[in-house]
Structure formats: structure tokens, C-alpha cells
Amino acid sequence: MLVGKESFCDYHTIGEAADALERLPNEQPETLYIMSGVYEEAVRIYRSNLRIVGIGRVEITRSRYAKQKDEKGEEIGTFATPTLFLGGRRLMLENLTVTNAAGQGDDIGQAVAVSAYCDEAVFRCCTFKGHQDTLFTGPLPPATKQGGSFGGIPVREHHDRCRQLYRYCRIEGTVDFIFGGATAYFEQCEIRSLRHAKRGSGYVTAASTPPGAEHGYVFRDCLLTAEQGVSDVYLGRPWREHAKTDFVGCKLGGHIVPAGWHNWDNPANETKVRYREFGVSGALALRERRVPWALCTDSLDAAPAKQDVFQGTDFWIQGGENGTWQRRRKEA
């Protein structure tokens, strides 16, 4: 299936192609190719067993934000804002840029580029652009902190866990710009902090790892960079109290504050989160400046390996290493 502006393409918008894919058997692997261009649309994809490949420079962009009003005059909220929503399993996305162009500020609030409410998903050579809450990795917590519903785009398939691999990707934002409850492994990615509109603190991650989950976010051999003049950025803070986040062999720019981590103004979180850094150059001196309730070591001995993070599934081998898992399923 081919999407593009040319007359020979099957569809001219990604949304039309997504609707057509919904009418095909969900068990049959499908591939969607998108020709180079800018696609100004919000896309919802619920199906499983799907590979999406950008040919050339492909950008999907939309400007929706949490403070935006609906037809009733009410704010639409964070989870109604994604430019791209993914809800299935066994997905692979390659060479795509997904942007939420709403910007930032008190009148904007959160603005999600990608809502990855999907399991066994691989993202290769993708770029996700936004400011606050750029990339959401499902599942959601059971309820908001006030006990209510999150609202937003309806979720058809409720995964009890979402396992995701990000390789050679670039993710940018300001506050909590990688957040959610997934077991997600980020390998050789650039994690870029942008300038905060109010010059407030930045936060790279805001994990909501479910209680009992062995792993949350793992960043392996990633580069943490920032726009010129950006400082006062934390590695993470807990969206929920059992947050787990590891940085393994990563290179951190000078924008990361010496304390490293934030407790979201709740000291009780310090006894329940698991924040760790492995393979840190100069760890002995840095430990004196990091918060005492997080691990910082120069050793890699206890660092989580990819096969341990994704124990019990092979999607990360078949989809993550060579992109052939769909062909193998057909041959099986």
C-alpha cells in the first residue's frame, strides 16, 4: 500500500490508508509505504502486524494541545492531542518524523506528538518533535492523580504491558517529553532538550512504570543534548511512584543538573522509584552531587541487557535487528 501525492499512489493521505488497513484481516502482516512529503493530519492506527516505512523525508504534523477547547468549550486534555496514535501490537515504524507543532506556554499545555499505546513495537530512525509530553509510551495509569478518567482518543485494545524498542531515533522536548508506563528500550538515540518558554526546569522522562514491572525506561548508548543556552534539566521525575528509569553508557551534556533526578515535590517517592546510571565516567565524584536515592556507578556489570528487558518475546530480535519479522511470520 502506497501513500503520496502522485496519481499512481493508492491513497493521498495517511488517514485514508489507515482506514483501509482497518478493513483488512488484522492477523495478516501489511506494509504501508509513505512517499516523501509533509502530511498535515492527525493519524489513528489501531491495527496490528503493520510496518510503516517513510521513503525520503516524511513528516506527519498537526497542532493540537491540551488547553484547546472542544465544541462544548471544554479543554480537550493531553490524550486528545497526539499527531500519531498507535494502538495495536507487532508494529514497526521506519524513517518517519512526527511533529506536534502547537508550541509551548501556559495557553498551550501538553501537546503529544506520538501516543504509542502499542505492544511489541519497533521504531527505527524516527524523529519525534514537540515540547511538553512529546512521546507517550502506554499503558496509562489506572486513573489520574485525582482519581478520574484520562479521556482523549478511545483505546480499543488494552495492553497489560507495552514493550517498545527505539533505535537510532531523535526525540526532543522540554518537560516530561518521554513519559508513560511502557517497558521501553532506547538504543543509540539522541534525546534533545529544548528551551523552556518560561525558563523553568526541564525533565527528560516521567515514567509511570506499573507496580511489579521489572523494567521501565532503559536508555543505552544514547546522547543527551540540548539547544544552546538550555540548562537545569533533570534526567527524570516520577509520574507515578514506582517509576523505573536507567541510563546505561550514555553521554550527558552539561544541561543535566548535578542532582540528576527530581522527586516531583514528594519525598515519599524517593523510597519507591528506581533511578540508575551505569557506566558513568567520573562516577565517584558525581555521586557526591547526585541525589542519594539514585544509583550512579562507573560499572556496567549490573546494567540491564536488552534480552533481559524483553524476556519472553522475540520482537526486538526479528523487528529490531533486521526488520524481517513480518516475512518470518509469513514463512512460519
The average pLDDT across 96-117 equals 97
| Better-scored residue on pLDDT, 326 or 51 | 51
Under 8 Å between Cβ of 184 and 218? yes
- For residue 218, list its beta bridge partners: 185, 246
Is 246 an active-site residue?
no
- What is the model's pLDDT at position 181? 98
Is residue 260 over pLDDT 80? yes
- What is the model's pLDDT at position 328? 43
Catalytic residue among 176, 265, 298, 301: 176
Edge to edge, the sheet with strand 135-137 lists: 43-45, 84-86, 114-116, 135-137, 175-180, 202-207, 233-236
- What is the model's pLDDT at position 221? 98
Domains and CATH numbers, the chain: 37-331 (2.160.20.10)
Of residues 210, 159, 120, 165, the one with CA closest to residue 306 = 165
39: its cell numbers: 502530511
**What does the alpha-carbon distance between residue 187 and residue 166 come to, in Å, rounded to a whole number?**
6
- What is the model's pLDDT at position 278? 98
Q: 219-252: per-residue pLDDT in tens?
A: 999 999 999 999 999 999 999 999 999 999 999 9
Of residues 87, 94, 83, 123, the one with CA closest to residue 32 = 94
Please tell me the number of Cα atoms within 13 Å of 22 on its side-chain side: 13
The average pLDDT across 314-324 equals 70
The average pLDDT across 173-189 equals 98
Which amino acid is present at 238? P
50: its cell numbers: 503493520
Is residue 197 over pLDDT 90? no
Is residue 195 over pLDDT 50? yes
Strand-strand pairing, 183-187 and 217-220: parallel
pLDDT-based confidence at 199, cuts 50/70/90? Answer: confident
Under 8 Å between Cβ of 94 and 53? yes
